[in-house]
Amino acid sequence: MDEKIKELEKQYNEVSIPKELDFVVENALKQGKKKRKKRAPQWLLGSAAAAMLFTAGLNVSPAMARTLSDIPVVGSVVKVLTWTEYKVADDSYDADIKVPSIENLDNKDLATTLNEKYRSEGKALYDDFIAEVGDLKAKGGGHLGVDSGYEVKTDNDQILSIGRYIVNTVGSSSTVMHYDTIDKKNDILITLPMLFKDDTYLKTISENIKEQMREQAAASNQEKVYWLKGAGLPDEEVSDEFTAVKADQQFYISNEGKLVISFDKYEVAPGYMGVVEFEIPTDVLKNDLVSSMYIH
């Protein structure tokens, strides 16, 4: 037999067998035996399906959720809980993904939509991570980390702002933020465009941010630097200059009712600046705002 086939076979057999294999196999055998003995796995499937329907029903059917929430258990306080957490802790691969869940929002459709989004994004993040680790391992190993979670930025009578972050670590790290801001009184999800009369806010906000960037750069003796001419860097080094905020720029509303615009790491500044935020003075915005209900 050819040496090379032998060598390939050796490689194939060198894949390490996880400790869990014994447990998984024994468990599967036990489960399998049970199902066979019952000789009627149908009812088992049936009850499992019923349990699933119940859980799915809670999430999918507003009617069912409402019926259940009518049963008084606890006061209806809007809460943000950790719904699930994915964890991987290996020598060179770490993942910690916390998936938030909004509870007790009167508008169940809104809560469901957001929670479903959080869950599917959390799951996708985890799946991607696992797939990437698999790839890396197959290619000889490496380091990979993902840390995702959430912070409640604002929680008062009117506003609930949740920020979810994803930090990817591959040598250096990148951070991405996603905010969701909810009007708790009216149960609506607030978007940036709906706060303003028309598109002029984009320009107003962008100009104010540029001003703030230049001020910060000057005040910090060029320690703070932004991708903008006159904001800490020589003009010729500014290649991808910040021009304007996007219509769907990430934002939240602070406890004091101020609009805060958030930029991901690297988006408008070098990596060491991290995620940067700008609070926009309400004075600057007042002509563009639809009302002073949220921002004041």
Partner 1 sequence: MKTRNAFQHEEVFVQLIREQKERFYLLAYSYTKNEQDALDVVQDSIQKAMLSLDRLENVEYMKSWFYKIVVRTSIDFLRKHKRLHVTDDDTLQYLTPAQEDIYENVDLEHALDELPIMYREVVILHYFEDLKLADVANILNIKLSTAKSRLYKALKLLKIQLEDVKGETAHG
Interacting residues with partner 1 (CB under 8 A): 1-2, 4-5, 7-9, 11-13, 15, 17-18, 20-22, 24-25, 27-29, 31-33, 35-36, 41, 127, 130-143, 170-171
Minimum CB separation from partner 1 for residue 30, in Å? 10
Minimum CB separation from partner 1 for residue 64, in Å? 29
Amino acid identity, residue 248? D
Minimum CB separation from partner 1 for residue 177, in Å? 23
Minimum CB separation from partner 1 for residue 167, in Å? 17
Residue 139 or 234: the one with the smaller Cβ distance to partner 1 is: 139
Minimum CB separation from partner 1 for residue 182, in Å? 33
Residue 12 or 234: the one with the smaller Cβ distance to partner 1 is: 12
Residue 13 or 239: the one with the smaller Cβ distance to partner 1 is: 13
Residue 24 or 247: the one with the smaller Cβ distance to partner 1 is: 24
Residue 42 or 243: the one with the smaller Cβ distance to partner 1 is: 42
Q: How far apart are CA 49 and CA 38, in angstroms?
A: 17
Minimum CB separation from partner 1 for residue 266, in Å? 16
Minimum CB separation from partner 1 for residue 126, in Å? 10
Residue 5 or 89: the one with the smaller Cβ distance to partner 1 is: 5
Residue 37 or 198: the one with the smaller Cβ distance to partner 1 is: 37
Query: C-alpha distances in angstroms, 82 versus 70, 142, 243?
Result: 23, 30, 37
